[in-house]
Amino acid sequence: MIDLKGNPFYLSEEAAAWVYATLDALTVEEKIGQLFCPISFSGDEDYLRAEILRFHVGGLMFKTSPPAEVRGAYDFMQRNSKVPVLCAANLEFGSTGFLEGGTHFAQQMGIGATGDERHAYRMGQVVCNEASAVGCNFAFAPVCDLDWNWRNPIINVRSYGDDPDKVLNMCLAYKRAADEHNMAISLKHFPGDGIDETDQHLLVSINSLDCETWDATYGKIYRGLIADGVKTVMAGHIDQPAWRRRLGRTARNDTVPATLSRELITGLLRGHLGFNGLVITDATPMVGFTSAMKRSEAVPTAIEAGCDMFLFNKSLEEDFEYMLEGLERKLLRRERLEEAVTRILALKASLGLWNKPREKIVPPPETMSVIGCAQHHAWARECADEAITLVKDDQNMLPLSPQKTPRILLEVLGPGAACEHISQYMLKKLTREGFQATLYEPENYETYRFGVKPFTEKYDAVIYLGNVENASNQTTNRIHWTTYWGHGDNVPWFVHEVPVLFASLANPYHMVDVPMIPTYINCYSNNDDTLDALVEKLMGRDTFRGRSPIDPYCGKAHLRP
């Protein structure tokens, strides 16, 4: 039985009656459609009508686009759907990953480094305020994973850190802000990422903790947030073998993602932790899901296992048919379908969608003025200022001065357009500070000047900025150098020739690759506010106040001072 009047839905008699009346009025096909939350790649109304609306979807997520386009698409969906729609967005670190021109606040680990829950609350205020302005009502955030393995390529700075109490309190602060904006949040990634060194985008990853350790760490986080009324949880393509075997499966070598495991969803999350809210899968095109079983079986099995919504598709039309066929083949029981749709409708009712005029669900266009506003950027700057962490300065290089080291070689490590922006942004800032700054350009054997003197006669110091971001479908987020055999000035062969500084913008574990560099800083985020704050600290006009929320020495004794 689903308690619609208790935690987390807390529905009134009228709202609960709407849930049951709406459920009864839906056809089987419409109930099947409610299970899906696809991603839309266009705001064009003809596209939405032909590719999305006809499948009666229960939710929709939009690709990063101009705010007006996103608002228009969500408004069209709300006005034209038989049942109001859950409009979703990834809101882990700002709205910039959802709305062009949105505020890039901070990665969660940067907030963890401040040690101040006020910043987690402010991030919730910023992202929920900006996303709500275009009609979003469902945040795929916060990340409540623990970053316990420095080799993990996907969690990293997305986590608040490695301390369960800190992660719980930061997530509660984010939730408090989301509640104030009537935004449902989705804890992710159950049963917990950050333990192994793999990526569920590429395979089923493993949370290998024993039941007791899991219960005292990840379980503590989920239990605390469930007690506080969190409405949704995102199930990851992550196995938790100890709990799965305790609750049913006895095979020793099988691997089952939580998204397909009755033991982990119905047994652990609902039974052991007492969660009564909505469970949504992580993105189902991920290999951690697609490689687990045939898709025609996996689609209905995910709902039968206890998930209520199905995130993204290989093909919405195909997955819709798989779900319908699964119902006919009894891979998905009618009782489980009804239960899932009831929770979906209950979530919508808890957000007040049940009695709001369709044309008023999405706020008016003038509300979008809050997106990227001055107050939000001021909060982002304050968070960046308190996050940046000086891990070591064994050579007393800081503060920098154009009198001491006028000629600086600036090297930005990492792929993509973000590095080009960072390079030009920091080059201008260093030049304004009075340095003769030169941006590193890769050499070849024809252009490289061999020897020590050609380097020391040209540069007085080197600043490395590491921008190797964690990203899906990568198995590592380590530094990749452009030169070989030590010939070339990309690799830090010169640490005993000139002062060298390394500031990591995106991965707090780079010390394992550059232990020879005596001055090391972790910034946790690569937005402009962080770069501005970094320069202030490098020049000695501000102090370093961040404290590492993880072990930057990667558990290696030889890296410690």
Closest CA to 61 of 46, 84, 42: 42
Please state at what angle helix 117-132 crosses helix 164-180, rounded to 10 degrees: 40
Calpha distance 194→187 (Å, rounded): 14
Q: Which two tokens stand for residue 84?
A: 């109001």
Residue 115: phi, psi to the nearest 5?
Answer: 70, 10
CB under 8 A, 24+ apart: contacts of 429-432: 429/531, 429/532, 429/535, 430/463, 430/535
What 8-state DSSP symbol labels residue 263?
I
Closest CA to 310 of 59, 508, 9: 59
Query: Is residue 44 within 8 Å of 20, Cβ to Cβ?
Result: no
Calpha distance 159→65 (Å, rounded): 26
Q: How many CB atoms lie within 10 A of CB 184?
A: 24
C-alpha atoms less than 13 angstroms from C-alpha of 559 in its C-beta half-sphere: 17
Element (H, E) at 339: helix 334-350
Torsion of the alpha carbons at 117, 210, 194 and 94, rounded to the nearest 10: -40
| β-bridge mates for residue 554, sequence order | none
Amino acid at 530: T
Query: DSSP letters along 74-111, please?
Result: HHHHHHH-SS--EEEE--SSBGGGTBTT--B---HHHH
Residue 69's SS3 state is helix
Q: Which two tokens stand for residue 187?
A: 């804890």
Calpha distance 357→464 (Å, rounded): 55
Q: Which two tokens stand for residue 34?
A: 């409610």
Residue 188: phi, psi to the nearest 5?
Answer: -145, 150
Measured in whole angstroms, the distance separating CA 161 from the mean position of its chain's CA atoms is: 13
Which residue blocks in 262-305 are alpha helix, DSSP H?
262, 287-290, 295-304
Residues with catalytic annotation? 282
Contacts of 140 (CB under 8 A, 6+ apart): 61, 88, 89, 90, 91, 92, 186, 188, 234
Query: Is residue 112 within 8 Å of 162, Cβ to Cβ?
Result: no
Calpha distance 93→101 (Å, rounded): 14
Tell me the Cα Rg of the chain: 25
Q: Where are the beta strands (DSSP E) in 97-172?
A: 138-139
